[in-house]
Structures are given as C-alpha cells and as structure tokens.
Chain A
Amino acid sequence: DAKTTQPPSMDCAEGRAANLPCNHSTISGNEYVYWYRQIHSQGPQYIIHGLKNNETNEMASLIITEDRKSSTLILPHATLRDTAVYYCIVRVANNAGNMLTFGGGTRLMVKP
C-alpha cells in the first residue's frame, strides 16, 4: 500500500470550508484514495473514495491532483459535529475485500 502523509491537526471555523490535505506520492495506478473519519468514541465512518477524477457526495468533495500524488478532502460548510480524526488511505480495491491500513490521520477541530 502507498504511504500517506497528513498533518496531525487542523482547526476550522464553523460554517467555513475545511480543506484536509493528503500526500501519497508513491501511489500506483490501480490504487484508490479513500477517506474515513472517526468521531470520538465511535467507529470509523466512510466518507468518500476516488481513483482519478474528482468526486462529490452529500458529505464531502475529493479533489485529486492530475499526477495523483496528493489529494484534498473538502467539507464545504464545517459544523461542530465534523470534529473528528480524518484518515486518508490509499489501497487497491480487490474483489476479495478491502483491507484498510490506517495511519495517524488529521485531527480536525471545528470551532464556533
């Protein structure tokens, strides 16, 4: 699995966009970028994934650079409930399942 690098912590003002960066310079062509988050005392929650193109769902947008060596997760209007640890994971999606390797993640603090 490609190694990812994320800042250990970030702050964001409530109502503003939160932009969480992830570096994955050794990513292979068949590896996807996944984002999960973990709110305190809960299990991780899937947010979004992408291969090459930018992706958007009801929770967030994922912007992947053209060379695929980095990506940004965007929470367009952060709320206090978005305070969590955000994990960027790079992994091949195979038919037998998808074993995730979590790093340290980014602790996002949304402040009023």
Chain B
Amino acid sequence: EAGVAQSPRYKIIEKRQSVAFWCNPISGHATLYWYQQILGQGPKLLIQFQNNGVVDDSQLPKDRFSAERLKGVDSTLKIQPAKLEDSAVYLCASSLDRFEQFFGPGTRLTVL
C-alpha cells in the first residue's frame, strides 16, 4: 500500500515570496490533515479536511495561509507571503478511521 506522498521535500525561499506544498493521501482516506512542525516542537494542526470540506481550520493563519482539497483527494497548502517564522516542516496526514493517522515524510521549508 502506497503511503502519503508529499512534494517537494525541501524548499528554500526568501521572505515575502509565495510557496505551495502538495499532498496525495492514501487511496480511500477521506480525512486529510496539514500540520506545521517547528524545529524542536511537536506537530501543530493547521487544517483538517473531510473529503473536500473543511472540518477545522481554527489554527490556520488565514491572512497568509490557504489550503484546498478540490476533488476530495489530493490537497495543496499555500503560504503567501512567507515570513521568517514560517520556517518549519509541513506534514500531511490522512486517515480512514477515528484512530490512526498516516503521515507523509513532510516538506522542509526554509524562509531566508
């Protein structure tokens, strides 16, 4: 069974630039999550989708972050414009049931 795919794996940008991350969840998983993990901390949930609808985006900085999952399968997370404090690993996860989330390898973003 293929895991959660994310791309790119690494991205370096300058502050005020835009960046987008892509996630393809495990086939059949209706629920998709985006997490932000700052170095030395645990992951923090940004947004949760159920199919193509948003379940929770309360911790998403909506002035600069946006996410979509148009067809209920893959998803894109965008930052526009990026700030220095956005440097982090962005993790995508998907789940089929209430208990187990499957995480992708993450995208490491460095904002200079």
Interface residue? A76 (CB, 8 A) = no
Within 8 A of B (CB), among A71-101: 85, 87, 93-101
Q: Smallest distance from the beta carbon of A83 to chain B beta carbons, Å?
A: 17
A interface residues, how many (CB within 8 angstroms): 24
B22 touches A (CB below 8 Å) = no
* Inter-chain contacts of A36 with B (CB < 8 A): 101
**What CA separation (Å) do A46 and B26 show in the bound complex?**
15
Complexed CA–CA distance, A34 and B100 (Å): 9
Closest Cβ neighbor of A45 among chain B residues: B103
Nearest-CB distance from A2 to chain B (Å)?
A: 15
A7 contacts partner chain B, Cβ-Cβ < 8 Å: no
Determine if A15 is an interface residue (Cβ-Cβ < 8 Å): no
Interface contact A43-B105, CB-CB below 8 Å = yes
Binary per-residue interface labels of chain B (87-112) against chain A in the complex, 1 for a CB within 8 Å, 0 otherwise: 00001010100111111111000000
Interface residues in A1-55 by Cβ distance below 8 A to B read 32, 34, 36, 42-46, 49
Choose among A46, A94, A103 the residue that contacts B100 (Cβ–Cβ < 8 A). Answer: A46
Contact status A46-B101, CB under 8 Å: yes
A92 closest partner in B (C-beta) = B98
Task: Tell whether, in the assembled complex, residue B48 and residue A99 are in contact, meaning their CB atoms are under 8 Å apart.
Answer: yes
- Tell me if B50 counts as interface (CB < 8 A to partner A): yes
The interface of chain A, by Cβ under 8 A from chain B, is 32, 34, 36, 42-46, 49, 85, 87, 93-105
Residues of B participating in the A interface, judged by any CB pair closer than 8 Å: 4, 31, 33, 41-45, 48, 50, 55-56, 91, 93, 95, 98-106
Given contacts A32-B99, A49-B100, 5 further A-B contacts (CB under 8 A): A43-B103, A44-B43, A97-B48, A97-B50, A100-B43
